[in-house]
Chain A
Amino acid sequence: MVTRIALIGNPNSGKTTMFNKLTGSSQRVGNWPGVTVERKEGSLRFKEDTVIADLPGIYSLSAYSPEEIVSRDFLLNDRPDAVINIVDAANLERNLYLTTQILEVGIPTVIALNMMDTVAKEGIKIDVDKLSKALGCRIVETTASKGDGVEDLAKAALSVIGTKTENKLRYTKDLEEYVSKAEEVISGKVPEEVKRWYALKLLERDERAGMDIDPDVRERIEAIVSSMEERMDNDADGIVAEKRYALIGKIVGEAVDKGHPKKKETSSDRIDRIVTGRRFGLLIFAAVMFAIYFIAIRAVGGWASDHFNDIIWNTVIPAAEGWLTGAGVADWLVGLIVHGIIGGVGAVIGFLPQMLVLFIVLAVLGECGYMARVAFVMDRLFRRFGLSGKSFIPVLVGMGCGIPGIMASRAIEGESERRITAMTVTFIPCSAKLPVIALIAGALFGQSALIAVSMYFLGMLCILMSGVLLKKWRSFSGTPSPFIMELPPYHVPSALSVIRESLGRVWAFFRNAGTLVLLACVLVWFLSSFDWGLRMVNAGDSILADIGNALKWIFVPQGFGNDWEFTMATLAGLLTKENIVGTLGVLFGSDAAGGGETWNIIGNMLTQASGYSFLVFNMMCAPCLAAVGAIRKELGSWKDAGKAVLYQCSLAYVLSLVIYQFATIFFGNGPEWWIIPAVAALAGLIYALISKEPFGFLRRRGSNA
């Protein structure tokens, strides 16, 4: 029989690290809250029939946020055999607030007193026996990041399975009176083991708990709550919270000796004064972003990619072509293998060193704790645009891959803010877009890191603009949700975690290149090598050229619609973004003598203005197919996902139009007549941003109909 153990605790208390240690998994961990938004499961390392469920980090068992609902529903409905409550020992009071509620659910519980290394460093002494006695459950001291105490914890959790639990925590006499009254009213209406939990939740006026109770019982409870509020002169939830903290304070006071802290101000505090400060916070962030892309695209990554491309184009491809031709393989098959598969996939793989460097730098920044500060700094900026720092967490996650970024929006409490974030998080360049940026930066801008940084900040601008624009629709209106975040102390990143996370992403990149990109390259090669009568022809007379020529007018105002190749690359990018590079690799690779030659061909076909416009459109338009699927999941319907894609593509179209047309005035041959729609689009965008009710005419039309 399979036994289930739930892992539960506050955000950033080390649950996922503990989960990985217990199960041997390599789930993504992050030094900021909100990494886990769904339940994750894995088998206990030395006991296959025991499943560990890693629940999202929460502060209480209320039902305010989706993570709280996921965790509490699992405890109440699925009733795991045991609970491991991960408690950050350095922040005991706050963490025990959740513990008191878990103990009320009546499931055998073991507390993992985690981050004991930090506690030791801070000179805090915890009398574990006393704490265990006061809470009425077993406590194991752990430091999950180092693996200390993990085995003892697993054994302790297994040993409590099947034991009878009795919650010994009792609050003040006056509150207990009302708890008894509530328990009496709901007796027989809820399972006996969760009676006390329900009684306390109903006294807090917890709406979700109330939904499980009959309306007449609810009325009787309401009478008890009203009388409690009158007597204790506070709101119902305030009363319960206050009494909980009073009890926790008493327990902690008896079991913890805070000693004499070695330093009043830690080095983390000192760094934070500058890094999160109003004056320099944003400037430092901009400098960090520049440094990230400079290292990834130009310096280390650029140097390594140049060598890597050199090997692919000047060694692998000529060798493969020579060998296949020498073996007498038919020309069309040589073309498919060399120019279709190796050329197309190779064009994408060629950027692997740059991506690896980016993955490593991002992992280091996330691990050391800087990214959590960025969310805090961005909260001030986001709030001005109707969003909050909570919307920035998905942006951070989305820098690796848009899909978990979209999923991370689930942690945002506000419905409209959550939907806006899910719709806009892919404006930030994900790792799949990096090869496209590197290609254009290499072909037209001398590998300048500023191109990547500008895409990042343009993506951010699009998110902020969308915050303002979309909130003017009735369905998206609402105030930004409060953003409270505990900043984890800075620490030296673990090399193992950084390597594991980076290699995980590299593997995912390879998997994508070997599946969707390879198939798309084969299709592009076929369509660009044959005509409608299936005769082998030059690319210019091929099926792909006919389709591209029929569609290229769409992007003429953006400056890259004169050559069909870029239109087809853009379309291929809707499947996965790497396909843009793969398609151009197939189309230009056969004419090029090497990777650098492909850059020259693109450099001769596009100007800096049209190249930048091509990049803007492809970065901001609809994300890859899988990300559109994730948007559908978060928004709830294909109709809403379709609207999101339409919004993204429209915004990308307008931006690339405006950027190209204005760029031709300042850096090109003077204005084209397309400047008129560009000015009109820009004026429309500005009007929509500053007007109080720009879409009022639509609403009126809707209400008239």
Chain B
Amino acid sequence: MPNAATVIVGLIVLAVIIIAAYYAYRSVKQGGCAGCSKCPNNGDPGCEGCSKKDR
């Protein structure tokens, strides 16, 4: 049986991994970009990220 510290830290790590996976999925889905601008598709108006930010 794991101790309390392992369970708590384990859950935090799991949450971090799930959040990272969500954002990685979203970034890839939007044609994710590694380093140009805030817009993953360089300002494509069809991009969900842009729509949320700009409109």
Interface residues of B in 1-32 (CB under 8 A from A): 2-3, 5-6, 9-10, 13, 16-17, 20-21, 23-24, 27-28, 31-32
A507 to B27, CA, bound (A): 14
Whether the Cβ atoms of A519 and B24 lie closer than 8 Å is yes
Contact A403 B6 (CB under 8 A): no
Interface size class of B (residues with CB under 8 A): 20 to 34
Task: Report the minimum CB–CB distance from A515 to chain B (whole Å).
Answer: 4
Contact residue among B5, B17, B24, B36 (Cβ-Cβ distance under 8 Å from A327): B5
| Per-residue contact bits, chain A 298-339, to B (CB 8 Å; 1 contact, 0 not) | 000000000000000000000000001001111001001100
Interface string of A2-42 (1 = CB under 8 A from B): 00000000000000000000010111100000001011111
Within the assembled complex, what's the spacing in Å between the Cα atoms of A518 and B34? 14
A444 within 8 A of B: no
A509 and B54 within 8 A (CB): no
Instruction: Give B42's nearest chain A residue, CB to CB.
Output: A404
**How many angstroms between the C-alpha atoms of A134 and B48 in the bound complex?**
43
Residues of B within 8 A of A626 (CB): 27-28, 31-34
Verify B34–A512 contact, CB threshold 8 A: yes
Residues of B contacting A26 in the complex (Cβ-Cβ under 8 angstroms): 37-38
CB-CB under 8 A from B6, the residues of chain A are: 328-330, 333
Cβ–Cβ contact B35 & A508, under 8 A: yes
Chain B nearest CB: distance from A4 CB in Å?
11
Across the interface, do B24 and A504 meet the contact criterion of CB distance under 8 Å?
no
User: Is there an interface contact between B23 and A401, defined as CB atoms closer than 8 Å?
Assistant: no
Q: Tell whether A366 is near chain B: CB-to-CB under 8 Å.
A: no
Interface string of A223-249 (1 = CB under 8 A from B): 000000000000000000000000000
Residues from chain A with a CB closer than 8 A to the CB of B13 are 333, 336-337, 341
Contact residues in B for A508 (Cβ distance below 8 Å) = 33-38
A511 within 8 A of B: yes
Contact indicator B31/A333 (Cβ below 8 Å): no
In A448-462, the 8 Å CB interface with B consists of none
Which residues of B are found within 8 Å of A480, using beta-carbon distances? none
Residue of A nearest to B32 (CB): A626
How many chain A residues sit at the interface, stated as a range, is 35 or more
Partner of A509, one of B17, B31, B32, B35: B35
Give, as a whole number of angstroms, the nearest-CB distance from B54 to chain A.
4
Chain B residue nearest to A398 (CB atoms) is B36
- Would you give the shortest CB distance from A43 to chain B, in whole angstroms? 6
Residue of A nearest to B31 (CB): A629
| Contact residues in B for A627 (Cβ distance below 8 Å) | 34
Residues on B with beta carbons closer than 8 Å to the beta carbon of A41: 45, 50, 54-55
Known: A328-B3, A341-B13, A629-B31. A51 touches B55 (CB 8 A): yes
Structural contact, A43 and B34, CB atoms closer than 8 A: no
**Contact B36 A28, beta carbon cutoff 8 Å:** yes
Nearest CB in chain B: distance from A93 CB, A: 30
* Contacting pair A43 B33 (CB below 8 A): no
Q: With the chains together, A169 CA to B23 CA distance in Å?
A: 53
- Beta-carbon contact of B21 and A625 below 8 Å: no
Q: List A residues 617-653 near B (Cβ within 8 Å).
A: 624-627, 629-630, 633
Whether B20 contacts A515 by the Cβ 8 Å rule is yes
Smallest CB separation, A427 vs chain B (Å): 16
Q: Is A542 an interface residue (CB 8 A)?
A: no
Complex Cα gap A26–B43 (Å): 10
Chain A residues closer than 8 Å to B9, beta-carbon distance: 324, 327, 329, 333, 337
Query: What are the residues of chain B within 8 A of A504 when measuring CB–CB?
Result: 36-38
CA distance A36 to B10 in the complex (A): 46
C-alpha gap A328/B9 in the complex (Å): 10
Decide: A624 and B36 in contact? CB cutoff 8 A. no
Contact status of A407 and B38, CB under 8 A, knowing A25-B54, A42-B54, A626-B33 = no
What CA separation (Å) do A623 and B3 show in the bound complex?
44
Q: Report which of B20, B35, B42 forms a contact with A38, defined as CB distance below 8 A.
A: B42
Known: A40-B43, A41-B55, A515-B27. A333 touches B34 (CB 8 A): no
Distance in angstroms between the alpha carbons of A630 and B27 in the assembled complex:
13
The CA-CA distance from A633 to B47 in the complex, in Å, is 14
A579 shortest CB reach to chain B, Å: 11
Give the shortest distance, in Å, between B9 (CB) and chain A (any CB).
Answer: 5
Q: In chain A, residues 252-300, which have Cβ atoms closer than 8 Å to a Cβ of chain B?
A: none
- Cα-based distance from A38 to B9 in the complex (angstroms): 45
Minimum Cβ distance to chain A for residue B7 (Å): 10
- Asked whether, in the complex, the Cβ of B42 is within 8 Å of the Cβ of A516, the reply is no
Which of A42, A54, A329 is packed against the most chain B CB atoms within 10 Å? A329
Q: Which residues of B contact A519 (CB under 8 A)?
A: 17, 20-21, 24
Listed in ascending order, the chain B residues whose CB lies under 8 Å from chain A are 2-3, 5-6, 9-10, 13, 16-17, 20-21, 23-24, 27-28, 31-39, 42-45, 50, 53-55
A–B pairs, 20, beta carbons within 8 Å: A28-B36, A28-B43, A40-B43, A328-B6, A329-B3, A330-B3, A333-B6, A333-B13, A400-B36, A401-B33, A401-B35, A403-B42, A508-B37, A511-B27, A512-B35, A578-B34, A625-B28, A626-B27, A626-B28, A626-B31
Instruction: Return the 7 tightest CB-CB contacts between A and B, nearest first.
Output: A40-B43, A515-B24, A42-B54, A401-B36, A508-B35, A401-B35, A327-B5
